[in-house]
Structure 1
Amino acid sequence: MASTPDSTAVAASERSTAVTGRRRTAPAAPGARRGFPSATLHNSRVDALDGLRTLAVALVLVYHVDHTLVPGGSIAVDVFFTISGFVITRQLLAEYSRTGTLALLPFYRRRWLRLVPALLALCAVCLVLATTTSLWSFDGSWQAVGLAATFLTNVFRAADSGSYGGPLAHTWSLGVEEQFYLLWPLLLLGLLRRLRARTVLLCTAALCVLPFLWRCVLWHPDAVHRIYNGTDTRADELLAGALVAVVLARLRQDDPRLRLLRVWAGRLALPALALLALVAWKVPVTGNAGIWTALWYTGGILAVAALSATLVAGLELRPDGPLSRLLGFAPLAWTGRNLSYGIYLWHYPVVRLLASLDVEVGLLTGTVVLTLAMALLSYYLVERPFLRRARRHRT
């Protein structure tokens, strides 16, 4: 195992003691001084997580084409939330460990460059189709574009007692993520500046429970749309990923607790994935299933967050494990890294477009082919140029 900054510093101190006869205290690495000694060691992309993104977006696509094939396929969005919370928090902690602060404006700029240009391109296409054709699937595009471009689709859906089904209805999840990206760095920076690292970890764990308690307070059969679309009621899924990032940054590489966590996360990752797959296959998450619906919209969301966090931890800590190697298969990883966002953006309007053209035979195949084509165009013509700009502005 390569030596960590801390072990190097200790070795230098011991050499100094041997020469002078006096023991000196070695200077701690910046991350160690701030209580997160491993923060900068866990800051690279994980191929298996990118492969997991591919599986998740494929599940969402199939669900929107024919939800009877995977009644619980919408939980793929829950998995996306947990991955996002983990990745963003890991990046924030690495920056804080290096610099002692978080550069919030550059962070928000990078998020804008990553998400907004491709979204605006989709919005423009929807408006063109709405104004130049009579396709019913693009009725209401002006309102849909306004909500999507301002990341307020989830707010509108949460307040809507019916089922909002505009051409960009799926952007509710982008609203949840963007609102989390807006608030979480501010809150995390406040915690990091005022509290010890251990207390930050405990506060993050406590925050994971609050949305569950809030859902229990809100629960009523008429509150399904409110709970499903609210950032406050879905935050535990993002915070579960954030908690994994805080725990891994907090533990030194030679900490026996990290070794224990690596063993158990590796063992539980595959069962967690299997349980998530079982829910997607058999459980009608968005249907009305009596008592099950009540259980799902209170504790079920937290349970999925815990399973997703277990899976993320296992893939992060066991990159050499069989599941990591499977999900890290190069085509899967490349698709998840580069196309998953475009696939998510385009698949729902494509489904509606083909439905409005009365395509029934080969609907799934047609959706996959057309969505991949649009995602490739989005990546090469829109996303990649702006991603280069985002990298140039990294701090």
Structure 2
Amino acid sequence: MPSLLAPQRARPNHLPALDGVRLLAVGLVILHHITSGSQNSFFLHLIGVQRGNGLGPPLFFVLSGALLTTVINDLRDTENRYRTFMLRRVLRIFPLYFGYLLVAFVITFAVTGTPPRNLWAYALFSQNIFLQAAEQTGSKLEMYHLWTIAVQDQFYLLWPLLLWRCKTIRQMRMLCCAGIAGSILSRVLMVVLGLPTDLLIRSLPAVSACMCLGGLLALERSDRTWLSPFLLKAFVPLSILCGIWMWRGLDFTSPLGSLAGYQLVGLTCAAFITAAMHPVTLVARVLSSGVIASGGRKLAFGLYMWHPCLLDFCEHHLPFESKIVRMAIFLTVAILLADLSYRFYEKPFLRMKTGKPRQMPPGNPQTA
């Protein structure tokens, strides 16, 4: 995912700092789940007061768009490019995702005597579409976080086919801008038509602006425009505005939050990732440090997948009154489980050969 999902192989275009962004995004999701609604301190209030899905998912989506666009362009001049692209995504996503669903099935059946309902929605990566079915599984493992996987997989299916039709970088930029405009328009229509608020934060049309914005960041690496300097200069002002918006308690499902707040957060995430893509910045130096980058590359996906069920267990079933103790146990076990998952379960799939792409006649997009 993206964002959540580390690349299968090291690539010349790979930036370690983006692995650090991935780990930070997972950390924000976990922190939001731990502190949601808290008003005990400025920091916890700032992160936890916002309803919806916090800062983590928009950061995931912008990062996912940047990484995905880079990978797609790397495969542009290879044979069987779509097959190669999808096979790599399958090897990265499917083992842990469907492994989690299998564990949910086994535990639910063992505890209740009946299997979870409506797992077809998750198996088809459509839980963000069939919202009611996805919420009524009866699973003993938390499933609420899997909607981001569905959104990104839907984007994975479409984005390569659209991007490869573009012959120039200018056309790719126009495609990204059209995606952003279409996403904002879809939000306007959802608000006007009074559609379920969950669609504002979980449907592909509503969140694709962030991924298309990430696509623009990827294109900046090969053909720089005014966008990168603008985002670097605007990072601090955007962060301040984003902090004020979060502090005021506006959420992504309100009309103002959907039409203005979400775009503000997405733009702030883009500015942050732009800073991470420039090695001379403090953000890039911190995020590319060994432990952080390695954690994002190896542990982020496992942390994201397993943390909700571990958090639920530590919050409600440990015999300790101190929340600090329970959260320390939660974080320790979550990191250990993610590490074991990567070493002994995910890594063997990542080592599978997908075949070396054969180069076709050069057809790299031109700048104009």
Q: Would you call these one fold, judging by a TM-score over 0.5?
A: yes
Q: Are the structure 2 counterparts of residues 233 and 58 from structure 1 closer, same or farther at C-alpha, using a change threshold of 3 Å? A: same
Equivalent residue for 1:285, pick from 251, 270, 277: 251
Within-5 A mapping of 1:188-203: 188-192=163-167, 196-203=168-175
Equivalent residue for 2:116, pick from 135, 142, 149: 142
Equivalent residue for 2:75, pick from 88, 95, 110: 95
Q: Are the structure 2 counterparts of residues 95 and 274 from structure 1 closer, same or farther at C-alpha, using a change threshold of 3 Å? A: farther
Q: Are the structure 2 counterparts of residues 315 and 187 from structure 1 closer, same or farther at C-alpha, using a change threshold of 3 Å? A: same
Task: Give me the whole-angstrom Cα distance separating, in 2, the residues matched to 1:275 and 1:53.
Answer: 23
1:156: Cα distance to partner?
Answer: 2.0
What is the match of residue 306 of structure 1? 267
Tell me if 1:168 matches 2:140.
no
What is the match of residue 294 of structure 2? 334
Task: Give me the whole-angstrom Cα distance separating, in 2, the residues matched to 1:161 and 1:384.
Answer: 29
SS in 2 for 1:389: coil
Task: Give me the whole-angstrom Cα distance separating, in 1, the residues matched to 2:257 and 2:114.
Answer: 31
1:394: Cα distance to partner?
Answer: 4.9
What is the match of residue 364 of structure 2? none
1:277: Cα distance to partner?
Answer: 5.9
Say whether the 8 Å CA contact 1:148–1:168 is kept in structure 2.
no
Please list every run of 5 or more consecutive structure 1 residues that lacks an aligned counterpart in the other structure. 1-41, 252-256, 288-292
Q: Are the structure 2 counterparts of residues 150 and 373 from structure 1 closer, same or farther at C-alpha, using a change threshold of 3 Å? A: farther
What is the match of residue 346 of structure 2? 383
Tell me if 1:216 matches 2:188.
yes
| TM-score (norm. length: structure 1) | 0.74
1:265: Cα distance to partner?
Answer: 4.0
Q: Are the structure 2 counterparts of residues 80 and 104 from structure 1 closer, same or farther at C-alpha, using a change threshold of 3 Å? A: same
1:248: Cα distance to partner?
Answer: 3.0
Say whether the 8 Å CA contact 1:62–1:364 is kept in structure 2.
no
1:91: Cα distance to partner?
Answer: 1.5
Q: Are the structure 2 counterparts of residues 115 and 354 from structure 1 closer, same or farther at C-alpha, using a change threshold of 3 Å? A: same
Q: Are the structure 2 counterparts of residues 58 and 207 from structure 1 closer, same or farther at C-alpha, using a change threshold of 3 Å? A: same
Within-5 A mapping of 1:9-88: 43-68=12-37, 69=44, 70-72=48-50, 74-88=54-68
Task: Give me the whole-angstrom Cα distance separating, in 1, the residues matched to 2:261 and 2:133.
Answer: 22
Q: Are the structure 2 counterparts of residues 369 and 298 from structure 1 closer, same or farther at C-alpha, using a change threshold of 3 Å? A: same
What is the match of residue 334 of structure 2? 371
Say whether the 8 Å CA contact 1:43–1:90 is kept in structure 2.
no
Q: Are the structure 2 counterparts of residues 100 and 382 from structure 1 closer, same or farther at C-alpha, using a change threshold of 3 Å? A: closer
SS in 2 for 1:250: coil
Say whether the 8 Å CA contact 2:61–2:210 is kept in structure 1.
yes
1:74: Cα distance to partner?
Answer: 1.9
Q: Are the structure 2 counterparts of residues 284 and 89 from structure 1 closer, same or farther at C-alpha, using a change threshold of 3 Å? A: same
Q: Aligned pairs, how many?
A: 330
Say whether the 8 Å CA contact 1:201–1:243 is kept in structure 2.
yes
Deviation per CA, 1:329-372, whole angstroms, max 9, x where unpaired? Answer: 22111111111111000011222333452666334223212221
1:326: Cα distance to partner?
Answer: 1.6
Q: Are the structure 2 counterparts of residues 111 and 273 from structure 1 closer, same or farther at C-alpha, using a change threshold of 3 Å? A: farther
Within-5 A mapping of 1:103-118: 103-118=81-96
1:140: Cα distance to partner?
Answer: 8.4
| TM-score (norm. length: structure 2) | 0.79
Higher mean displacement: 357-366 or 234-243: 357-366
Please list every run of 5 or more consecutive structure 2 residues that lacks an aligned counterpart in the other structure. 1-10, 38-43, 358-368
What is the match of residue 360 of structure 2? none
Letter in 2 for 1:203: L
Aligned Cα RMSD in Å? 3.0
Say whether the 8 Å CA contact 1:53–1:340 is kept in structure 2.
yes
Identity across matched positions, percent: 24
1:250: Cα distance to partner?
Answer: 3.1
Tell me if 1:323 matches 2:283.
yes
What is the match of residue 295 of structure 1? 256
Task: Give me the whole-angstrom Cα distance separating, in 1, the residues matched to 2:136 and 2:241.
Answer: 28
1:161: Cα distance to partner?
Answer: 11
Task: Give me the whole-angstrom Cα distance separating, in 1, the residues matched to 2:262 and 2:138.
Answer: 23
Say whether the 8 Å CA contact 2:250–2:257 is kept in structure 1.
no
Task: Give me the whole-angstrom Cα distance separating, in 2, the residues matched to 1:313 and 1:71.
Answer: 27
Deviation per CA, 1:92-135, whole angstroms, max 9, x where unpaired? Answer: 12332xx277710110110010011011222222222212235x
Letter in 1 for 2:191: W
SS in 1 for 2:75: helix
Tell me if 1:122 matches 2:100.
yes
Task: Give me the whole-angstrom Cα distance separating, in 2, the residues matched to 1:222 and 1:126.
Answer: 30
1:226: Cα distance to partner?
Answer: 1.9
Q: Which has the larger radius of gyration?
A: 1
Q: Are the structure 2 counterparts of residues 237 and 189 from structure 1 closer, same or farther at C-alpha, using a change threshold of 3 Å? A: same
Equivalent residue for 1:240, pick from 213, 216, 223: 213
More helix by share: 1
SS in 1 for 2:32: helix
Task: Give me the whole-angstrom Cα distance separating, in 2, the residues matched to 1:297 and 1:286.
Answer: 5
1:393: Cα distance to partner?
Answer: 3.2
